[in-house]
């Protein structure tokens, strides 16, 4: 039985993640990845975050999708570098592969940046399985997905350093039990901070900005 190829493929991914980490550190750039199900509100949260101005930190965004430049187009109104990475031409991965992210980062002048925001491919499983050299993984879970999701998809909640609960404006309509969600999150990760947000009402966006800025400053 020949399994060398699989080992090499994994090792190659880890080596690229290390290279990315090294380049970011050399340029004193912080990288945060937003992960979560398709439609959980990742792009909407990123839009609101960029609108805050991020306290003057110079940001760029790498948008990951299987196909289309739709999310990059939504961010085009911001006067910052935006790179779209599509996985479909390279096999259609359900996550941002380190080598594609590395290519995307080559289109950015890291020496002019403080922060790279990566929107990972919409998926509640695959993105959590890969180190892509980021400083912080954020899982975005919309309340429309249900209180049980941390228990059913625990890895992404274990791997993340922050959980953004999105679409809080819909809580009433969905009869959503936020305390039950918080209990379920803490059952799979007892230390993960949770921030409730709404891109509609802007609830929690300042708190999210403050959290990120504090992390960038202490790195």
Ligand X SMILES: Nc1nc2c(ncn2[C@@H]2O[C@H](COP(=O)(O)OP(=O)(O)OP(=O)(O)O)[C@@H](O)[C@H]2O)c(=O)[nH]1
Q: Which uninterrupted H or E stretch holds 115?
A: strand 115-119
The answer to whether 43 contacts Mg ion (rule: CB under 5 A) is: yes
Query: What residue is closest to Mg ion based on CB?
Result: 43
Structure-block tokens of residue 24: 């970011």
What values do phi and psi take at 51, rounded to 5? -65, -25
The answer to whether 200 contacts ligand X (rule: CB under 6 A) is: yes
The answer to whether 193 contacts ligand X (rule: CB under 6 A) is: no
The answer to whether 160 contacts ligand X (rule: CB under 6 A) is: no
Among the residue ranges 12-20, 182-190, 196-204, 207-215, the one whose residues contact ligand X (CB under 6 A): 196-204
- CA distance linking residue 22 with residue 133, whole number of Å: 8
Structure-block tokens of residue 43: 């792009």
Taking the complex as a whole, how short is the minimal distance between the CB of residue 71 and Mg ion, in angstroms?
Answer: 4
Among the residue ranges 36-44, 105-113, 151-159, 184-192, the one whose residues contact ligand X (CB under 6 A): 36-44
- CA distance linking residue 134 with residue 31, whole number of Å: 5
- Give residues 68-107 in contact with Mg ion (rule: CB under 5 A): 71
The answer to whether 166 contacts Mg ion (rule: CB under 5 A) is: no
CB-CB contact of 50 with 76 (8 Å): no
Among the residue ranges 105-113, 129-137, 186-194, 195-203, the one whose residues contact ligand X (CB under 6 A): 195-203
Among the listed residues 30, 35, 43, 209, the single contact to ligand X using CB under 6 A:
43
What values do phi and psi take at 73, rounded to 5? -65, -35
> Total number of residues binding ligand X (CB under 6 A)?
17
Taking the complex as a whole, how short is the minimal distance between the CB of residue 69 and ligand X, in angstroms?
Answer: 12
Among the listed residues 98, 104, 122, 133, the single contact to ligand X using CB under 6 A:
122
Number of H helices, E strands in the chain: 9, 7
CB-CB contact of 165 with 143 (8 Å): yes
CB-CB contact of 209 with 52 (8 Å): yes
Q: List residues binding ligand X (CB under 6 A).
A: 36, 38-44, 71, 122, 166-167, 169-170, 198-200
């Amino acid at each position: 039985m020949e399994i060398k190829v699989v080992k090499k493929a994994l090792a190659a991914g880890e080596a690229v993640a290390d290279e990315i980490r090294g380049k970011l550190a050399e340029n004193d750039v912080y990288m945060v990845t937003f992960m979560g199900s398709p439609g959980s509100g990742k792009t909407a949260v990123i839009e609101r975050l960029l609108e805050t101005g991020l306290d003057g930190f110079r940001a760029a965004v790498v948008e990951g999708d299987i196909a289309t430049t739709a999310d990059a187009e939504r961010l085009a109104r911001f006067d910052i570098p935006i790179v779209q990475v599509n996985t479909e031409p390279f096999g259609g991965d359900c996550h941002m592969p380190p080598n594609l992210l590395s290519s995307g980062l080559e289109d950015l002048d890291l020496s002019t940046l403080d922060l790279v925001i990566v929107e990972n491919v919409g998926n509640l499983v695959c993105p959590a399985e890969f180190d892509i050299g980021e400083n912080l993984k954020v899982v975005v879970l919309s309340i429309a997905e249900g209180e049980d999701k941390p228990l059913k998809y625990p890895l992404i909640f274990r791997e993340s350093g922050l959980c953004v609960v999105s679409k809080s404006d819909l809580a009433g309509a969905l009869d959503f039990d936020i305390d039950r969600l918080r209990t379920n999150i803490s059952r799979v990760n007892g230390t993960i901070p949770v921030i409730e947000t709404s891109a509609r009402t802007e609830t929690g966006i300042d708190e999210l900005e403050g959290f990120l800025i504090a992390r960038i400053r202490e790195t």
